Chain A
Amino acid sequence: MAHELVEAMANMKEKEALQIVDDLLAKGEDPNKILDLSSEAMQVVGQRYQEGTYFLPELIMSGEMLRKIGEILKPLLAAQSGVTKKLGTVVLGTVRGDIHDIGKDIVGFMLEVNGFEVYDLGIDQPEDAFVKAVADHKPQVLALSGFLSVAFDSMKSTIEEVEKAGLRTGLKVIIGGGQMDDTVRKYTGADAYGDDAMAAVAFAKQTVGVA
């Protein structure tokens, strides 16, 4: 039987969840424990999304609840060491010429829920921003997002630049968003394309050998 906070969050009961957090804190519960319960709830949400019973709205709503709970807990967690073992590292971003972020944000969210360290560069990112991030963070996976056809060429040139910088070996690249399919994958030189956030998670897990 899951904790009532996990139940409330996983079932999108925002008011109830926030009330439970208040009550727990009033009773002197360890804020770290509350944060763990919140993370557990996010995993339930992620699981239901993977199973096809939850969709974009539940991901966004649970993210919103987590943000609010995080705001409440943040001042109480100041001494947190924050060292948790991650499955791997992903550099993520929307490529040059494209300013869409919703799909990218969902991919980042699902990767984090599934235990990955995610460096999200943001939207309309030039090739050299990805090259620098790959050099700095040494991710196992580079995830390129784009909604419009303008992204096809930007993805291609981004991957080319990463290769020129000598960073392509051992790095797996996945593309996703709008019109991405196997034709674009081949065109850009990516290793995979994803239809949805789950594909990105499956790919990342496979890459780090935990699939």
Chain B
Amino acid sequence: MYPKNWGDMTPAERRAWRIDKWRNPDVAWASPEAEADYKARVDRIVAAINLEKPDRVPVRLNMGFWPAKTAGITAYQAMSDPKLGCKAWKDFNLKFQPDASVDPLHNTVPAAMFEALGYNLYSWPGHGVSESASYQYNEKDWMVAEDYDALINDPSDYLIRDYLPRTVGAFKGFGALSSFWDYIELPFVFGQVLGWGSDDMVAGLEKLTNAAKAVNEWAKVVFPAMGEVMSLGFPPYAGCATKAPFDILGDTLRGTKGVIVDMFRYPEKVLAAVDRLTPVALDWALKKANPPEIPICFMPLHKGADGFMSQEQFDTFYWPTLKRVIDGLVEQGMIPLLFAEGRYNSRLEKIMETPAGSAIWLFDQTDMARAKATIGTVTCIQGNLPLSLLHAGTKEEVADATRKLIDVAGADGGFILDVGAVADEGKDENLLTMVETAKAYGTY
């Protein structure tokens, strides 16, 4: 929990508190060396974030299902057998020795949970895509254009009583519930409660119970396993996640085509919606039963990439509310990790409005020399060894590319080496070469 005087603390003090919590977690260390390694790793990453020179370039690994592939199991197995999955992820950390742990959190969540929920937004291994493929979004206008006013009027109510009944089977019955505001006056309460007796609600509650059972069994395995990896000296990298307001609207609500057409047809509605979703995006990251202690907040960015919109559209529809989320997180002592998927070459000047030394920009295919000369003078940059090279290149090519990247992006610190895109597979020997080259060549 936060200290009592949290409200009086400055953003810098809040950040220092979070970094201290991150650096000194309550774990039983596997050995004194593991503890020393852990702290050295946190210090290395924090120095890079502060645009200083650590002892060497920190190495973080942007992994999807790669650890499963290394262990010889399918993505489906990783999402079906948490013990098997967690062992794969632990072995991966031990083998590749990254500076931040690669967590099984997002790749071992049980398929049984999604099955029980009747989750329609994504396909997952063995359910809509093959057992060896990663989960993928089912692009559609799940929110229709006529819903803008409802979303803008009350985003959370819209989520619970309109969007979820359409997208998650277990919530189907929520579509027929009356307002939860019924509970604030005794004579109205029965109306809300009555709705919980519908066939859809009864079936939905059973589905939720089954989903909860599945996730509980998983949690009993995965959290201790993550604690063990931590105790072996690997700090976790991100403590929470959120999204750019435009992406919340454009990714899984309206869909790409929907939101794009809306920008022309109802620009004022799109602007009102992203404005309304800005505090939602902040609460999403911060308002939790256990507030995040780890300072880094992961933010995958999609619709603002090069080619997805013009600079004028980016400046109008995308960046202002994203900037407010970044500022709001920084205010709370968080360090936003902005994962710019695709290319961001045309946005580099604009994003220099990011508060200095307060965030990390993780680039996928952006030109790192340009990134270093622009946003790299303001915040830490991270990335961006090509996934293609890890998959299809030779060890020599990987070593060369790693050295070149460190020369370009790592000069004078402020750089964290990573894979550009989320990696589901590739050659282990190449990944190992990347890590080892960075450790040998990336010293300051």
Contacts and interface: CB of A to CB of B under 8 A. Distances in A.
Nearest to A152: B391
Given A97-B130, A97-B132, A179-B386, A60 B260 contact: yes
Of A53, A96, A99, chain B has the most CB atoms within 10 Å of the CB of A99
A8 B357 CA distance: 46
Contacts of B263: 57
Which of B128, B261, B388: most chain A Cβ within 10 A?
A: B388
Contact of A102 (B128, B139, B426): B139
Given A149-B387, A184-B391, A99 B136 contact: yes
A150 B264 contact: no
Contacts of B256: 56, 60, 102
A14 B266 CA distance: 12
B134 A152 contact: no
Nearest to B393: A183
Interface residues of A, number: 31
B264 A61 contact: yes
Contact of A183 (B130, B136, B261, B389): B389
B91 interface: no
A180 B388 contact: yes
B272 interface: no
B265 to A, nearest CB: 7
A64 B391 CA distance: 38
Given A98-B136, A99-B129, A183 B388 contact: yes
A57 B310 contact: yes
Interface in B237-265: 256-257, 260-261, 263-265
A196 interface: yes
Contact of A101 (B134, B139, B264, B308): B139
Contact of B308 (A14, A53, A56, A184): A56
B16 interface: no
B309 A150 contact: no
B153 interface: no
Contact of B307 (A14, A55, A61, A150): A55
Given A148-B424, A150-B424, A150-B425, A98 B388 contact: no
Interface string A10-42: 001010000000000000000000000000000
Given A57-B264, A149-B423, A99 B138 contact: yes
B264 A56 contact: no
B313 A152 contact: no
B133 A97 contact: yes
Most B CB contacts (10 A, CB to CB) among A14, A53, A57, A183 go to A57
Contacts of A183: 386, 388-389, 391-393, 397
B297 interface: no
Interface of B: 123, 128-130, 132-134, 136, 138-139, 256-257, 260-261, 263-265, 307-310, 313, 365, 386-389, 391-393, 397, 420-421, 423-426
Given A14-B264, A186-B392, 12 more contacts: A56-B256, A57-B264, A60-B260, A99-B136, A102-B256, A124-B129, A149-B391, A149-B424, A178-B421, A179-B420, A180-B388, A183-B393
19 contacts: A55-B309, A56-B260, A60-B256, A61-B261, A97-B129, A97-B130, A98-B136, A99-B123, A100-B136, A149-B425, A149-B426, A150-B133, A150-B134, A150-B425, A180-B388, A181-B386, A183-B393, A184-B392, A186-B392
